[in-house]
Amino acid sequence: MDKDSLKEHVLNKVQFSDEELDLFLSYFKEKKVKKKQFIILPESIAKYRSYVVKGAFRSYVIDEKGAEHTIQFGIEDWWISDYNSYILQQPATMFVVALEDSTVLQIDHESEEKLKAAGHIYETFFRIMAERSAAYHQRRVMSNLIQNAEQRYFSFMERYADVAYRVPQYALASYLGMTTQFLSKIRSKSLKS
Amino acid sequence: MDKDSLKEHVLNKVQFSDEELDLFLSYFKEKKVKKKQFIILPESIAKYRSYVVKGAFRSYVIDEKGAEHTIQFGIEDWWISDYNSYILQQPATMFVVALEDSTVLQIDHESEEKLKAAGHIYETFFRIMAERSAAYHQRRVMSNLIQNAEQRYFSFMERYADVAYRVPQYALASYLGMTTQFLSKIRSKSLKS
DNA sequence: CGGATCGTTGATCAACTTCAACGGTCGTGG
DNA sequence: CCACGACCGTTGAAGTTGATCAACGATCCG
């Protein structure tokens, strides 16, 4: 089982010793997920935090009108879960679904707790993960406050073009907070100029 | 100097021993801040994480059209800073200003690093802080995606009525992502029904 | 090949902004 | 302590952004 990408990923954040790294990696189990398969459903309790080795995922919620709203995408070298469910071990509110045939490395909540209890450095790692998540979501709040639909689209393209080209348009539109029709119009307009 | 509220606040999150708590609290310095005084300005590097003992703050950014966008409020028992600046020690992008005469307890970044290095439990505390921040910002992203202006206002009133009644209306409007005129109309409409 | 799903386009409509004018209140200097 | 100016919130009219509705072509997959 190939954990090299995860290994590199974590060593970029904290200085694990060889033994610390081995223990850390030993808790992760590989899982293959087929396109359109769900790894988290609302009401269930998110058992895993998943590191994407290969493939693409999307987490989303459904509002009372039945409309989907994409919360996050996850491609190679990203993490994905319903964190509110995972961290607090409460019922999930999100769907997390594979957009392609994918491979993830999963740690379950209990193992993560063990790791954090076992050593200072593991706690540090998960603190850094949480800080990044907070920074990411805050950037998105600011982007929603400051930019209009068209600007949000172009900002996303600048930063995450690789994601934009891999996910269905309705998923991207619902991530950016607009309808697929409007996103389509933005795109066709930007081609003409 | 009265650190009782901070003491209670942290004991709600982690189980410090008496010595651990004393060391933790010893790093916090009290600061009185007058209304309209700034504690963080863009370009500067946020030196402190501030716990609000008394008073109210607001952090905001200014866009290229000169419009203000409120990122966060902080009243008693909340924390406030420009976290992207504080955590990464990079130049701030936000203003943080006192909305009332206030008292905060501040820890500087270097001391926080010392604490985190000194003990597992301090790392745990700051991990929990970061997780809460991530959860908070994610809720706000979801609220922006799912709710319209009127619903965002009523949701805010349900959860944070105490804040709503203490801050100027333009600050609340810019937090909720609408103009002060539109907020005014929502409020007058809701009075009539 | 055939149905379902996805993206596109145009017309109409709703949500929200912008602009403008006004009354109230707050704080500051004389 | 009062007067004045600046700032704040309100209201209405007009304008813009983006949603909704509807119809259609393309593509994907069984």
What is the distance between the alpha carbons of residues A11 and A16, in angstroms, rounded to a whole number?
7
CB A150 under 7 Å to nucleic chain D: yes
Q: Which nucleotide is nearest to A173 (CA to C1')?
A: C7
**pLDDT per residue as tens digits for the range B131-150:** 999 999 999 999 999 999 99
CB B179 under 7 Å to nucleic chain C: yes
Q: In what order do the strands lie in the sheet with B29-33?
A: B29-33, B102-108, B48-54, B79-80
Residue A191 pLDDT grade (very low, low, confident, very high; cuts 50, 70, 90): confident
CB contact under 8 A, B71 and A131: no
Q: Which residues fall within 8 angstroms of residue B24, CB to CB, at 6 or more apart?
A: B10, B16, B115, B122, B125
The Å distance, CA of A169 to C1' of D16, is 25
Q: What is the pLDDT along chain B (193 residues), one digit of tens a residue?
A: 789 999 999 999 999 999 999 999 999 999 999 999 999 999 999 999 999 999 999 999 999 899 999 999 999 999 999 999 999 999 999 999 999 999 999 999 999 999 999 999 999 999 999 999 999 999 999 999 999 999 999 999 999 999 999 999 999 999 999 999 999 999 998 876 6
What is the distance between the alpha carbons of residues B146 and B62, in angstroms, rounded to a whole number?
25
CB B32 under 7 Å to nucleic chain D: no
Residue B83 backbone dihedrals phi, psi, to 5 degrees:
-65, -35
Q: What is the DSSP string of A123-149?
A: HHHHHHHHHHHHHHHHHHHHHHHH--H
pLDDT for position A151: 97
Q: Of B23, B87, B75, B13, whose CA–CA distance to B49 is shortest?
A: B87
CB A187 under 7 Å to nucleic chain C: yes
For residues A171 and A99, the answer to whether their CB atoms sit within 8 Å is yes
pTM of the entire predicted model = 0.94
Gyration radius of chain B's alpha carbons: 18
**Partners of residue A116 in chain B, C-beta under 8 Å:** 124, 127
Q: How far apart are the first and last CA of chain A?
A: 48
The Å distance, CA of B58 to C1' of C22, is 29
The Å distance, CA of A169 to C1' of D25, is 17
What is the distance between the alpha carbons of residues A133 and A156, in angstroms, rounded to a whole number?
17
**pLDDT per residue as tens digits for the range A26-48:** 999 999 999 999 999 999 999 99
CB A188 under 7 Å to nucleic chain C: yes
Q: Which nucleotide is nearest to B181 (CA to C1')?
A: D10
What is the distance between the alpha carbons of residues B164 and B178, in angstroms, rounded to a whole number?
15
- Structural domain spans, chain A: 4-146
What is the H or E stretch that residue B108 is in? strand B102-108
The Å distance, CA of A136 to C1' of D22, is 38
For residues B40 and B69, the answer to whether their CB atoms sit within 8 Å is no
What positions of strand D are covered by protein, i.e. any atom < 7 Å from a CB? 8-13, 17-22
What is the distance between the alpha carbons of residues A34 and A47, in angstroms, rounded to a whole number?
19
Secondary structure class of B47 (helix, strand, coil): coil
- Region of residue A73 (phi > 0: left; psi between -120 and 50: alpha; otherwise: beta): beta
**pLDDT per residue as tens digits for the range B165-176:** 999 999 999 999
What is the distance between the alpha carbons of residues A123 and A128, in angstroms, rounded to a whole number?
9
Q: Assign domain B4-111 to a CATH class.
A: mainly beta
Q: Which chain A residue has the Cα nearest residue B144? A: A144
The Å distance, CA of B52 to C1' of C26, is 26
Fold of the domain spanning A4-146? Jelly Rolls (2.60.120)
CB contact under 8 A, B69 and A142: yes
CB contact under 8 A, B146 and A69: yes
CB contact under 8 A, A124 and B123: yes
Query: Which whole-number Å values give the CA distances from B118 to B9, B13, B127, B181, in the listed order?
Result: 21, 18, 15, 51
What is the distance between the alpha carbons of residues B152 and B149, in angstroms, rounded to a whole number?
5
Query: Which whole-number Å values give the CA distances from B129 to A109, A167, B50, B60, B78, in the listed order?
Result: 18, 33, 13, 21, 11
Q: Which chain A residue has the Cα nearest residue B143? A: A141
Secondary structure class of A107 (helix, strand, coil): strand
